Amino acid sequence: MSDSRNIISFFYTLRDPEGRVLDLASPEEPIVYLEGSGMIIEGLAAALAGLEPGTKKRIEVPAADGYGERDPEQVRRIARSVLPIEGELKVGDQFRTAEDQAAPIVTVMEISGEEVLLDANHPLAGVDLTFDVEVLTVRVATAAEIEHGHVHAAGDHCQN
């Protein structure tokens, strides 16, 4: 096994099973992805491996290989007063449970009196995903990029 890894730039449109567009990356602002960095979901990463530049592909990612199945344990009723949110709260609101960017995003399902029903499942949990992808460029990652776990700009410059 070689530990060579690629940097793949691509753009995509992501749709749910009803055909609604959930997310997209344009050709002008593609995703630039280091293989093995965990930056994109597993099912998409596996399907992109080995594709040539210019390849257009429809990639179907079942929920389990995307954002996971919905977990009923992640739906909880808690007191409104413990939430880090000032002001009005309404059904459908989404917010992070802490300042940390890695903190889970929760969705308000229901408000009854002083209690709020929160869903901490990822908003795309349980959703089968369809990506229409086009690969722009593929190049071998540099040793520094693999060591740092992220993509560098031209000339192997690290911006971090």
Report the interface residues with Zn ion, using CB under 5 A. 148, 158, 160
CB of 144 to Zn ion, least distance (A): 6
Ranked by CB distance to Zn ion, the top (closest) residue is 158
Residue count of the chain, please give it. Answer: 160
**Environment class of residue 156 by beta-carbon count within 10 Å: exposed (0-12), middle (13-18) or buried (19+)?**
exposed
8 vs 127 by CB, closer to Zn ion = 8
CA 56 from centroid of its chain's CA atoms: 20
57 vs 148 by CB, closer to Zn ion = 148
CB of 87 to Zn ion, least distance (A): 40
37 vs 130 by CB, closer to Zn ion = 37
Nearest-CA neighbor of 78 among 21, 20, 105, 117? Answer: 117
**Environment class of residue 29 by beta-carbon count within 10 Å: exposed (0-12), middle (13-18) or buried (19+)?**
exposed
- Kindly state the tokens that stand for 82: 């413990």
70 vs 148 by CB, closer to Zn ion = 148
CB of 154 to Zn ion, least distance (A): 13
Calpha distance 25→133 (Å, rounded): 9
CB of 143 to Zn ion, least distance (A): 11
